[in-house]
Chain A
Amino acid sequence: MSLSNDQVHRIAHLARIELAPGEDARIRDQLNGIFTLIEQMQAVDTSGVAPMSHAVDLSQRLREDKPSETDQHVRFQQIAPEVEAGLYLVPKVIE
């Protein structure tokens, strides 16, 4: 499979990555190169092999259900661009 320029722009938009003018062709070629590698791997017969979801063969450690965090919002909000009444203020987004 190979990607079109339109698909490159769509992926960039989904990931909120800005492409400089003319950059799309280079990115497209790089991505297509990666797809070629994936195609090579997909040619291997993996029927009977369980899909791997993680690189290490361990299972998830669990935490007891006890609140352990204190209120640090004043500290956290020191790096926020704008804050009011304890809320982070952001450009209005309404669906």
Chain B
Amino acid sequence: MALLDNWEVVIGLETHAQLATQSKIFSGAATAFGAAPNAQACAVDIALPGVLPVLNRKAVECAIRFGLAIGATIAPRSIFARKNYFYPDLPKGYQISQYELPVVQGGALTIRVGQGEGVAEKTVRLTRAHLEEDAGKSLHEDFHGKSGIDLNRAGTPLLEIVTEPDMRSSDEAVAYAKALHALVRWIDICDGNMQEGSFRCDANVSVRRKGDPKLGTRREIKNLNSFRFMQQAIDYEVRWQIERIEDGGTIEQATVLFNPDTGETRAMRSKEDAHDYRYFPDPDLLPLEIAPAWIERVKGEMPELPVAMKARFERDFGLTAYDATTLTASLDMARYFEAVVAAAGRDTAKTCANWVMGDLAARLNRDEKDVAASPVSAAQLGGLVARIADSTISNSIAKKVFDALWNGEGAGRDNAADEIIDKQGMRQITDSGAIEAIIDEVLAANAKSVEEFRAGKEKAFNALVGQAMKATKGKANPQQVNDLLRKKLAAGAA
């Protein structure tokens, strides 16, 4: 983009991750998605007089897990504050959040940007992550000119995760958002469902002339609930800001919304008091204290993190960085792959990786299935890879066995691949006498191809290999067929 030549883009992200708890952060109301309106809004959530908030232990534990996963400081003591503003979906007139002393401080996330040869790693520093409650939902559809308020979401626990302004392009912002999305699911603190609003991002975007030490004025794009929209919104916003400054205008701090239909960002009606939240410590909540013993216990329960697992896959299994990254895209995927290797043997890890990322991923994708719900179990796929590795079957036959497994043959039995191979007589023919006999028949029946080959047509050779493979129903080892056929043709010519 020529427009960008003289400009630097500066982006910071704020992400709201809905924490995977059963009940709300300060009340015993359920958090399940999709309940009838206001059926899960209790007296605390709707702010009836006299109620008191009581903090959910699991929500705190999620914050600890996150802090450990990004190498942050878990505050031994943190404070809840009231963020004051008036809106119909906020019954108390304030949101309970954390301001001066958040529970998670600092930390960093490594992201990978670019593709193929151009992949580069970059570290995005995190400023903080704090616990807070979500607001309710306003429905602006037709209620005789009024808005309908559903408070089921009010009080749902959120972890707001804030970065330093470390990203320099929409690509980096999206790479960060994806890495964060993968991480919160990996450590099982958020289901990551973006359609249901469980993971939503705000992007603070500014531009400055290259070399300018001072940051430009930022505009905040609110509520980006897909990676594609994030990319489009930031790209549009960057162009808009640069063009405005180049046309002699200035940027005013504003909150903007992205319209996916037009692909444009638009400033919300500016409210001069929008950011005057008058935070103060919530007198209803005592300081949150997290003892070192609690942090140690959570540390012991954490799964191996994706970065560590990726390094181990490269080191122990000899996988490429690309393969290791792909296989650690989610914890379910990584666990599945490890189980395949465990069943097939460590020496076959590369073949296992190819099958998981190739045939299996393609099928899962086509049938819109998650790897956890794969009809082919890891043990079954491992059994199949083992038969390829010991030359019982060829790769092309293996694909047929895989089809059978996918369609439920031998479902529930770990040795299903062996059963299918035996039942259908799919064992590779390695007896060279048997293969030679078949080749003789093929040569006799395809005199024309033999002639063409002798006349120098290499294509004719491939046709003969094809005929021989067909005659063995694909069960011969193609390399062996190749070798024997060449030998026979050479002998015949002499």
Binding site for B on A (CB under 8 A): 10, 13-16, 53-56, 58-69, 71-73, 76-77, 82, 84-95
Task: Decide: A92 near B146, CB < 8 A? Known: A65-B21, A69-B30, A71-B40.
Answer: yes
The 8 Å CB contact of A95, one of B36, B146, B150, B269, is B269
User: Which residue in chain A gives the minimum CB-CB distance to B27?
Assistant: A69
Which of chain B's residues have a CB closer than 8 A to the CB of A86?
36-39, 150
**A-B interface, 3 closest residue pairs, ranked by CB to CB distance from nearest:** A68-B28, A87-B148, A65-B58
| Shortest Cβ gap from B27 to chain A (Å) | 7
Query: Once the chains are docked, how many angstroms separate the CA of A13 from the CA of B273?
Result: 9
Query: Once the chains are docked, how many angstroms separate the CA of A15 from the CA of B86?
Result: 8
| Pair A76/B276 contact, Cβ less than 8 Å | no
| Shortest Cβ gap from A72 to chain B (Å) | 7
Which of chain B's residues have a CB closer than 8 A to the CB of A64?
57-58
Which of chain A's residues have a CB closer than 8 A to the CB of B442?
none
Indicate whether B366 reaches chain A with its CB closer than 8 angstroms. no
| Shortest Cβ gap from A49 to chain B (Å) | 15
The 8 Å CB contact of A76, one of B46, B93, B281, B289, is B46
Which of chain A's residues have a CB closer than 8 A to the CB of B23?
63, 65-68
Which of chain B's residues have a CB closer than 8 A to the CB of A61?
54-55, 286
User: Which residue in chain A gives the minimum CB-CB distance to B37?
Assistant: A86
| Shortest Cβ gap from A9 to chain B (Å) | 11
| Pair B56/A92 contact, Cβ less than 8 Å | no
Query: Could you write out 15 A-B pairs with CB less than 8 Å apart?
Result: A14-B84, A54-B287, A59-B287, A62-B56, A63-B56, A67-B31, A71-B36, A72-B42, A76-B46, A77-B38, A82-B146, A87-B37, A87-B143, A90-B88, A92-B146
The 8 Å CB contact of A53, one of B57, B79, B150, is B79
Given A65-B23, A65-B58, A90-B146; 8 other pairs, CB 8 A cutoff: A13-B273, A53-B101, A59-B77, A64-B57, A66-B28, A69-B42, A89-B149, A90-B147
Q: How many A-B residue pairs have CB under 8 A?
A: 133
Query: Once the chains are docked, how many angstroms separate the CA of A82 from the CA of B55?
Result: 31
Indicate whether B245 reaches chain A with its CB closer than 8 angstroms. no
Task: Decide: A65 near B57, CB < 8 A? Known: A13-B273, A82-B146, A95-B269.
Answer: yes
| Shortest Cβ gap from B44 to chain A (Å) | 8
Which of chain A's residues have a CB closer than 8 A to the CB of B147?
89-94
| Shortest Cβ gap from A22 to chain B (Å) | 24
User: Which residue in chain B gives the minimum CB-CB distance to A79?
Assistant: B48
| Pair B286/A87 contact, Cβ less than 8 Å | no
User: Which residue in chain A gives the minimum CB-CB distance to B20?
Assistant: A65
In chain B between 115 and 150, which residues have their CB closer than 8 angstroms to a CB of chain A? 138-140, 143-150
User: Which residue in chain B gives the minimum CB-CB distance to A54?
Assistant: B286
Indicate whether B240 reaches chain A with its CB closer than 8 angstroms. no
Query: Once the chains are docked, how many angstroms separate the CA of A69 from the CA of B46?
Result: 13
The 8 Å CB contact of A89, one of B43, B48, B58, B146, is B146
Which of chain A's residues have a CB closer than 8 A to the CB of B31?
67
Size range of the interface on B? Answer: 35 or more
Which of chain A's residues have a CB closer than 8 A to the CB of B84?
14-15
Indicate whether B342 reaches chain A with its CB closer than 8 angstroms. no
Indicate whether B194 reaches chain A with its CB closer than 8 angstroms. no
Query: Once the chains are docked, how many angstroms separate the CA of A56 from the CA of B79?
Result: 13
Query: Once the chains are docked, how many angstroms separate the CA of A88 from the CA of B36?
Result: 13
Which of chain A's residues have a CB closer than 8 A to the CB of B37?
73, 85-87
Q: Chain B 38-67, CB within 8 Å of chain A: the 1/0 string? A: 111111001010000011111110000000
Which of chain B's residues have a CB closer than 8 A to the CB of A55?
283
Query: Once the chains are docked, how many angstroms separate the CA of A65 from the CA of B19?
Result: 12
| Pair B145/A54 contact, Cβ less than 8 Å | no
| Pair A60/B288 contact, Cβ less than 8 Å | yes
Task: Decide: A71 near B39, CB < 8 A? Known: A14-B276, A91-B147.
Answer: yes
| Pair B56/A65 contact, Cβ less than 8 Å | yes
Which of chain A's residues have a CB closer than 8 A to the CB of B60?
62
Which of chain B's residues have a CB closer than 8 A to the CB of A56?
286
Query: Once the chains are docked, how many angstroms separate the CA of A60 from the CA of B285?
Result: 7
Task: Decide: A87 near B41, CB < 8 A? Known: A58-B286, A60-B286, A65-B59.
Answer: no
| Pair A53/B281 contact, Cβ less than 8 Å | yes
| Shortest Cβ gap from B203 to chain A (Å) | 18
User: Which residue in chain B gives the minimum CB-CB distance to A76?
Assistant: B46
Indicate whether B180 reaches chain A with its CB closer than 8 angstroms. no
| Pair B149/A87 contact, Cβ less than 8 Å | yes
Query: Once the chains are docked, how many angstroms separate the CA of A66 from the CA of B311?
Result: 38
User: Which residue in chain B gives the minimum CB-CB distance to A65?
Assistant: B58
Which of chain A's residues have a CB closer than 8 A to the CB of B17?
none
In chain B between 78 and 121, which residues have their CB closer than 8 angstroms to a CB of chain A? 79, 84, 86-88, 93, 101
| Pair B143/A93 contact, Cβ less than 8 Å | no
Indicate whether B183 reaches chain A with its CB closer than 8 angstroms. no
| Pair A66/B22 contact, Cβ less than 8 Å | yes
User: Which residue in chain A gives the minimum CB-CB distance to B88?
Assistant: A90
| Pair A54/B139 contact, Cβ less than 8 Å | no
Query: Once the chains are docked, how many angstroms separate the CA of A72 from the CA of B27?
Result: 14
| Pair B48/A69 contact, Cβ less than 8 Å | no
Query: Once the chains are docked, how many angstroms separate the CA of A10 from the CA of B140?
Result: 29
| Shortest Cβ gap from A40 to chain B (Å) | 20
Which of chain A's residues have a CB closer than 8 A to the CB of B489?
none
Which of chain B's residues have a CB closer than 8 A to the CB of A53?
79, 101, 281, 287
Query: Once the chains are docked, how many angstroms separate the CA of A82 from the CA of B86?
Result: 19
| Shortest Cβ gap from A28 to chain B (Å) | 18
Query: Once the chains are docked, how many angstroms separate the CA of A71 from the CA of B28?
Result: 11
